[in-house]
Amino acid sequence: MLLERYKKEILLGGIYGSTAKGTDIECSDLEMFFVVENGSKAKSFRFAYESIPIDVEVQKVADVEKDITKIQLDWSLKMGKLFNLKVVYGDPIILRKFRIILEGVPKARFDKFLASETPLCYEGLWKLHTLRVRGNRFEEMGLLVGGILIDFMLLVAIFNREFINHAYFDGLIESFSFKNLPKNYEKNARKLMKWNSLSIDETVKLADEFVHNFVEFLAENGVVVREHTPLEELDV
């Protein structure tokens, strides 16, 4: 349908996720990604086909290039989708152009993001601490622990300039193989993944160490986390 309407404007198209990896099952969703010329009117859309979610993402070249150079928390996920795309239409040579742009992003930009974004990822940890004050709400622990693990997985990926190619805890396990990791990163992450076998005190202690080790890891590598930003520095 896209090709019928926008064939001359589509530069690249393909699938990603479990379908591209060959690990999909009967109820897996289908995820597609298309890169189009800047002047194209093609848009992203979602729909259900026989109860299966179909996600079709369409991005203009300029927006793809912006995503490559603008570091955000989901940067590693976006890059994993882009550079591991199973191409079914168009010329994959455009991915080489995107790779050159990626290689030109200065390390300082990644460091600056980590310095400012890391404290914003403390939220899950602080909420975990409040469980001891408000009472042990066991049903909340899993959500908070999962959020902490995923947020810091993404920060670790950004530090390593690596891609995350799997969702949820599969992506966390993938991050264990990255070259540069905080102290006890995998060990503590695996323990936290079994939060339901831990007490609230054990969980909070592990989460504290998990986050502290990341901040210490950044400092050892010349990245000082900005836990306080003067209001006059804000760009509003």
Query: Which segments of the chain are extended strands (E)?
Result: 10-16, 30-36, 45-49, 52-60, 86-90
Q: Is the dihedral of CA 65, 69, 74, 76 positive or negative?
A: positive
Q: What is the pLDDT along the chain (236 residues), one digit of tens a residue?
A: 888 999 899 999 999 887 777 777 777 788 999 999 999 999 999 999 888 899 999 999 999 999 999 999 999 999 999 998 999 999 899 999 999 999 999 999 999 999 999 999 999 999 999 887 777 666 788 899 999 999 999 999 999 999 998 877 889 999 999 999 999 999 999 999 999 899 889 999 999 999 999 999 999 999 999 888 888 887 77
Question: Is there a domain that residue 190 lies in?
Answer: yes
d(CA 36, CA 32): 13
Question: Domain with 155 in it: what CATH number?
Answer: 1.20.120
Strands 30-36 and 52-60: parallel
Which one, of 125, 135, 129, 102, lies nearest residue 211 by Cα?
125
pLDDT score for 18: 75
Question: Is there a domain that residue 231 lies in?
Answer: no
Question: Is there a domain that residue 29 lies in?
Answer: yes
Q: Tell me: the pLDDT tens digits for 17-31? A: 877 777 777 777 889
State whether 52 and 127 are in the same domain.
Answer: no
Q: Tell me: the pLDDT tens digits for 49-82? A: 888 899 999 999 999 999 999 999 999 999 999 9
Question: Is there a domain that residue 64 lies in?
Answer: yes
Question: Domain with 14 in it: what CATH number?
Answer: 3.30.460.10
Number of domains in the chain: 2
DSSP 8-state symbol, 233: G
pLDDT score for 38: 96
Question: Is there a domain that residue 55 lies in?
Answer: yes
pLDDT score for 136: 60
State whether 114 and 214 are in the same domain.
Answer: yes
State whether 28 and 95 are in the same domain.
Answer: yes
State whether 20 and 118 are in the same domain.
Answer: no
State whether 112 and 166 are in the same domain.
Answer: yes
pLDDT score for 231: 87
DSSP 8-state symbol, 133: H
Domain final position from 47, 72, 103: 103
Beta sheet of 86-90, edge-to-edge order: 45-49, 52-60, 30-36, 10-16, 86-90
pLDDT score for 137: 67
State whether 17 and 38 are in the same domain.
Answer: yes
- Give the pTM: 0.90
CA 78 to chain centre: 7
Contact 15, 88 (CB under 8 A): yes
Tokens coding 72: 């955000």
State whether 114 and 212 are in the same domain.
Answer: yes
d(CA 157, CA 171): 10
* Range(s) of the domain holding residue 171: 107-220
Question: Is there a domain that residue 235 lies in?
Answer: no
Domain final position from 55, 74, 103: 103
Tokens coding 51: 């109860």
Q: Where are the alpha helices (DSSP H) in 135-199?
A: 138-160, 168-175, 185-193
Domain final position from 69, 103, 137: 103
Question: Is there a domain that residue 138 lies in?
Answer: yes
pLDDT score for 29: 83
d(CA 172, CA 146): 10
State whether 81 and 166 are in the same domain.
Answer: no
Question: Is there a domain that residue 229 lies in?
Answer: no
